[in-house]
Chain A
């Protein structure tokens, strides 16, 4: 469509739009008495109810929060920055006393993935909790809620160990991510996040300090965080839920996580070079190697990844969407589009690349062995090695997924979850095909690419994440180019098509909990919401722990345009339970 200049909406016009969008007044004044009690916990310098401070905490998150709910997220009623577990517990107890909902956040993202749909929440900002203690001998580390991947990974490296780095970027925080997500290509070898977590200090939604694993019953967490279970109650399922409560089941203030031994003198095997953004760690290839293997078909790629995992070699294996590779090469957004315009459906259909990381953890002989096995597999599945740089830009130290926003400034991970390799691949294929055939536009052309998937736990499971990109100007009600028809064109994708494909393939999508609350109901997800309700009633009787997370269809759907609600309801009446491919 030809470009047509439209003036920005005036402040008055935006105010009127917001008046229609918002169900409640934007600013809410909390009770003076409650504020004074909170202030007494942390001192006057670490709490604020100034509007400017509160506004700074509005509306972080993914595309849906930024766009669909534009103008509908509220500022908190105050922001408080505790420094200790005891302070957090006291704050939570005060929130309970005054029936004030609270919302934990930390080093950006994760904890705070949902926008606030009510103006009366207390924002508990945990960024001052920055302690890291590494126990190299026993291979675990104690981290507090404000510790982020960038500095933790470096601290591990300094001790010749390593840890995952998340797709959320180096500034994402460890605990927030582990209570929700914890995904990384290194899950291939290190297992999924819940398996890396050991002892935990959990503040229940009512403000009790609960210590699990080998911290159970202890007054201090200074020593022995080695056990996640066995010696103490294993409450991981309660504080973490299936894929995280998104702050709806209290607050985890500290935990111990497993760390993993890396090459001795890691800095010699991986040498930092250059300056951000033109920086990388250069590999000594006798100890660390990338290998890109181009395979002849999608089936061959799937079988290759499966066989590779079963051989228990390598440090990671993944298949990334083709457009990620283009992003990596593009110097800016316009350059991306220039390059992407040269890509065709045939290119995508014929591009089947596995990216493999090999590490000689113990010595060069391990590398030689793994390389030999890889070569045998490559030949067996008709693959060929393609050129790759002997360096790393992101996997070990910073995974700057925010670069994924570059080409449209808005994306949505519409599907993510863990199943077996076959299931994730099948789901990705179906999603890619349907997106291309029926939903391009409104979404960006991905030409049927099955998305990002990788092998976890040496192939015991696989992770799939499927991304769609939209035109943010047409989605944001405050943009002069806002187009309700465009938004409506996306609704079917989110609320009907993706759940239907999930049901067909047996794929359990992580996202219903946080974003697709409406899909969380009924048999599709094993009546999971019944369990969620029971736990919430038991542990959070006043519903103060970050409502409406982890789901609350009524809350969320109230915020959505009416047509979304109707479609969703129709969908819920027709959905049938799918057969899990794991059971086939």
Chain B
């Protein structure tokens, strides 16, 4: 059977048939536990979930295993596309990819692409969530997530920040850092300034369109991707730096995916500020000096971690006459090549800081609730995920959580207001903690 890695749900009928329900998409595996004794018995159960949607809903339809059966039923006509719970099961998914990493431990099924293509199929059939449609219309009209005036997009640039008109490095700021968390944009810019790296901004930066991708609005996302890609190419940038995980993932992975190219064909390199700053640190251009006596933990935002591996297009056949082998053989993205060590290197380099790992880390990290458009459509599920992530950090005695993503910064800060903690009192963006100490 012909098979292409794309967002056409028909390509994932195989997945819907071949899942045997081993639950690696549901629970984390203890073998990577760092061996730190938890404070309470909660650790036994609650922190072993990898799928926040499933943990929230408990019934199997909220997880990948159930979703394979659901998709199978849609294919064979046992369930109608119109069923509101089909839509809910699809759109409550954070698209965080934890299930995908678990499945690829054993079976290499393309679970995340399957989930994502279900969202696309639903949108194409007219079942998009109204909350998403509203925000996407706003983005298309105003150019940003918040529907704010584009003229004030660069207001975060203060007098002490030096921005060049032309440079090899382009700082792609994103809507959330531009409007809601200017301190992250400022910290990122100051890091570049301190290291003596000239950088520019896009003349008219528009939303990367990540929410469109996350919520299955493929047509709209393709338009946004083409436009932004064109602008970046016109700018002549060789390196695009982001501080937002979702901008990073969109530019590095999703644009090539929906525009049928490899990440290496973009014509520029996309790097997260953590990667860039760690390189500067290694080159001696950036060195943390200020002491920060604090126990911190690092939250591997999925957008910067397991989902940020370069996109590798693939098209071929699954040979039914030859044991279902893929021909030609393909390279799998299993989440192991994401950006994991640079932010940890940066944290460990700060004098006085002790880095502790949570139970779920690296590509097995638990999601903090910001992805998939869930916050916009089902905020209670998004907050549920963020709260559990915060509790996990607290369980391991961290005083602060450091995240590489503006969205997860937002979610975890919100959780800090809701959840009573013993130790966690602060949430940093990685750029903030680096800027503060360098």
Contacts and interface: CB of A to CB of B under 8 A. Distances in A.
B29 A8 contact: no
A50 B1 CA distance: 33
Interface stretch (A398-406, A431-439, A551-559): A398-406
A81 B78 contact: no
Interface stretch (B227-235, B359-367, B390-398): B359-367
A478 B17 contact: yes
A274 to B, nearest CB: 7
Contacts of B31: 170, 272, 276, 279-281, 393-394, 397-398
A11 B73 CA distance: 10
A15 interface: yes
B152 interface: no
Interface in B1-42: 1-2, 10, 13, 17-18, 20-24, 26-35, 37, 41
A277 B17 contact: no
A132 interface: yes
Counting chain B CB atoms within 10 Å of each CB, the highest count among A6, A274, A398 belongs to A398
Given A60-B21, A402-B20, A11 B361 contact: no
B22 A402 contact: yes
B141 interface: no
Contact of A71 (B20, B76, B106): B76
Nearest to A274: B32
B46 to A, nearest CB: 9
Interface in A6-25: 6, 8, 11-12, 14-15, 18
A276 B48 CA distance: 14
Given A398-B30, A479-B320, A337 B325 contact: yes
B6 to A, nearest CB: 15
Given A150-B48, A272-B35, A397-B30, A5 B317 contact: yes
A56 B29 contact: no
Contact of A471 (B69, B324, B334): B324
Nearest to B45: A130
A276 B30 CA distance: 9
Contacts, number: 240
Contacts of B149: none
A351 interface: no
Contacts of B322: 1, 3
Contacts of B101: 276
Given A4-B321, A151-B45, A398-B29, A109 B22 contact: yes
Nearest to A80: B59
B220 interface: no
Which of A48, A170, A337, A407 has the most chain B CB within a 10 Å cutoff? Answer: A170
A319 interface: no
Interface in A37-78: 46, 48, 50-53, 55-62, 66, 70-71
A481 interface: yes
Interface stretch (A241-249, A298-306, A328-336, A506-514): A328-336
Given A108-B22, A478-B76, A127 B323 contact: no
A572 to B, nearest CB: 30
A474 B320 contact: yes
B60 A125 contact: yes
Contacts of A4: 321
A128 interface: yes
Contacts of A55: 61, 66, 69-70, 73, 78-79
Interface in A150-172: 150-151, 153-155, 158, 168-172
Contacts of A62: 20
Given A51-B85, A52-B61, A130-B45, A8 B324 contact: no
A398 B32 CA distance: 10
B75 interface: yes
A14 B329 contact: no
Given A109-B21, A169-B23, A171-B27, A158 B37 contact: yes
A52 B86 contact: yes
Interface residues of B, number: 71
Most buried by B among A14, A150, A393, A472: A150
Nearest to A170: B29
Interface size class of A (residues with CB under 8 A): 35 or more
Interface string B98-109: 000100111110
A148 interface: yes
B326 interface: yes
A56 B323 contact: no
Residue of A60, A158, A276 contacting most chain B CB atoms (<10 Å)? A276
A402 B31 CA distance: 16
Contacts of A397: 29-31
Nearest to A393: B31
A151 B76 contact: no
Given A14-B77, A444-B323, A108 B65 contact: yes
Contact of B22 (A171, A271, A281): A171
Contacts of B104: 277
B44 A132 contact: yes
A403 B105 contact: yes
A59 B16 CA distance: 11
Contacts of A583: none
Contacts of A481: 1, 320-321
Contacts of B37: 158
Contact of B69 (A59, A108, A154): A59
A46 B57 CA distance: 10
Nearest to B57: A53
A383 to B, nearest CB: 30
B89 interface: yes
Contact of A153 (B24, B30, B35, B323): B30
Contact of A3 (B77, B320, B363): B320
B323 A408 contact: yes
Nearest to A59: B69
Contacts of B378: none
B29 A409 contact: no
A51 B74 CA distance: 12
B69 A56 contact: yes
A85 interface: no
Nearest to A267: B35
B363 to A, nearest CB: 7
Contacts of A81: 58-59
B319 interface: yes
A355 to B, nearest CB: 19
Given A171-B27, A334-B325, A409-B107, A56 B65 contact: yes
A39 to B, nearest CB: 14
Nearest to A48: B59
B345 interface: no
B106 to A, nearest CB: 4
Interface in A443-502: 444, 471-474, 476, 478-481
A127 B49 CA distance: 12
Contacts of A175: none
B146 interface: no
A60 B108 contact: no
23 contacts: A3-B321, A3-B327, A11-B75, A52-B61, A53-B59, A107-B23, A125-B60, A130-B44, A148-B23, A151-B45, A171-B27, A276-B32, A276-B363, A277-B105, A279-B32, A333-B326, A398-B29, A398-B30, A400-B106, A406-B107, A473-B324, A481-B1, A481-B320
Given A151-B44, A480-B1, 13 more contacts: A14-B76, A18-B78, A52-B79, A52-B85, A55-B78, A125-B59, A276-B31, A276-B364, A277-B104, A279-B31, A333-B108, A338-B329, A473-B320
Interface of A: 1-6, 8, 11-12, 14-15, 18, 26-27, 46, 48, 50-53, 55-62, 66, 70-71, 79, 81, 107-109, 125, 127-128, 130, 132, 148, 150-151, 153-155, 158, 168-172, 267, 271-272, 274-281, 332-335, 337-338, 393-394, 397-398, 400, 402-403, 405-410, 444, 471-474, 476, 478-481
